[in-house]
Amino acid sequence: MDEFSLINAISQHYYKQSSLLKGIGDDAAVFRQTVKDIVTSVDTFVEGVHFSKQTMSPFYIGYRSLAANISDVAAMGASPAMYLVSIVIPTTWKENDIRDIFKGMHQLANCYGLDLVGGDTVSGENLVISVTVIGYVPKGKARYRHSAKRGDIVFVTGTLGDSQAGLHLLLTDKHVKDKDFFIKRHQMPQPKIDFAKGIQSLARVTLNDISDGLANEAIEIAEASQVNITLIDQYIPFSDALSQFSSSLRRKWVYYGGEDFELLGTVAPRDWNHVKSIAKKTGTSITQIGYVEKQSTCVGQVFLKTNQQKWRLYKEGYIHLK
């Protein structure tokens, strides 16, 4: 594969971000941002580990790689602005497949006005895509996971578990109701940028995106904020069609499946109505799923309330507590 022709093919003819002074074509991209704070994050996807040709066509591989990164930007309350792509290409991959990966990224990038400003293409034995994303957020409005406070409402956007159900269906080839819905949720996750931007006027909101499952993300907030969180099992939103799977599979996917790229957050009760109205305006479904405990001594813990029982959730699984 000719690296130069590939770079020419994937390079943009014009750039959308006015902050960008130089995109692809020099030793580095150059931008200026005097008004806002800047966020940056990197995520890497490896063939055979994070995806396979069996479950994901090149277009979706690209789309999803960028979606995961944009979701991190949403979880900071920021707007994505630009991205850099490093890609390791095996000789077994055809140039058209690589172009399709970039097409998948471009389609999502165009939805949110991102520019591709840099990259690196090298050869190797396995396909590896590493995406660095850069986003902007109003000064002092980055949404940290350490900002949850006692008495906060805990909420989540969308429905949980769908992505893992989709992966399950791709791997087992089972036929179930709404199969295409689950597969689309797995292959084309929708980062919650509009909602995250919508609540920028709030003085404080805690956000984490659900890449590693609800339990892990809630524990990260509880630990970083030094609080305890209680989630209420019957409040956790899942799509109607998920009911056709066994309750153990459903619970596994909802709490530990991850990759839904929904947002988990906490907010003061007085701001909850505002959050709900922004969710409505941005077409985002939102559900209160629990609360930050008002009183607690040993902090950093997450509990799950089910039918009069309370379980403690751990990163690796959950155990009965009381």
Task: Give contact residues for a copy of itself (rule: CB under 8 A).
Answer: 21-22, 25-35, 37-46, 48-50, 72-73, 75-76, 78, 84-88, 117-120, 122-126, 128, 130, 132-135, 137, 139, 142, 144-146, 207-209, 224
Least gap, CB of 39 to a copy of itself (angstroms): 4
Q: Which is nearer to a copy of itself, 98 or 183 (CB)?
A: 98
Backbone angles phi and psi of 47, in degrees to 5: -60, 135
Q: Which is nearer to a copy of itself, 136 or 245 (CB)?
A: 136
Least gap, CB of 37 to a copy of itself (angstroms): 5
User: Can you read off the two tokens belonging to residue 213?
Assistant: 């499952």
Q: Which is nearer to a copy of itself, 208 or 284 (CB)?
A: 208
Backbone angles phi and psi of 197, in degrees to 5: -70, -40
Least gap, CB of 48 to a copy of itself (angstroms): 7
Taking alpha carbons only, the member of 236, 278, 234 closest to residue 254 is 236
Q: Which is nearer to a copy of itself, 71 or 164 (CB)?
A: 71
Q: Which helix (H) or strand (E) holds 100?
A: helix 95-112
3-state secondary structure of 298: coil
Between the alpha carbon of residue 162 and those of residues 45, 167, 179, 181, 239, the distances in Å are 20, 9, 10, 8, 7
Least gap, CB of 72 to a copy of itself (angstroms): 4
Least gap, CB of 219 to a copy of itself (angstroms): 12
3-state secondary structure of 103: helix
Q: Which is nearer to a copy of itself, 116 or 183 (CB)?
A: 116
- Residue whose token pair is 């580095």: 28
User: Can you read off the two tokens belonging to residue 266?
Assistant: 């906490």
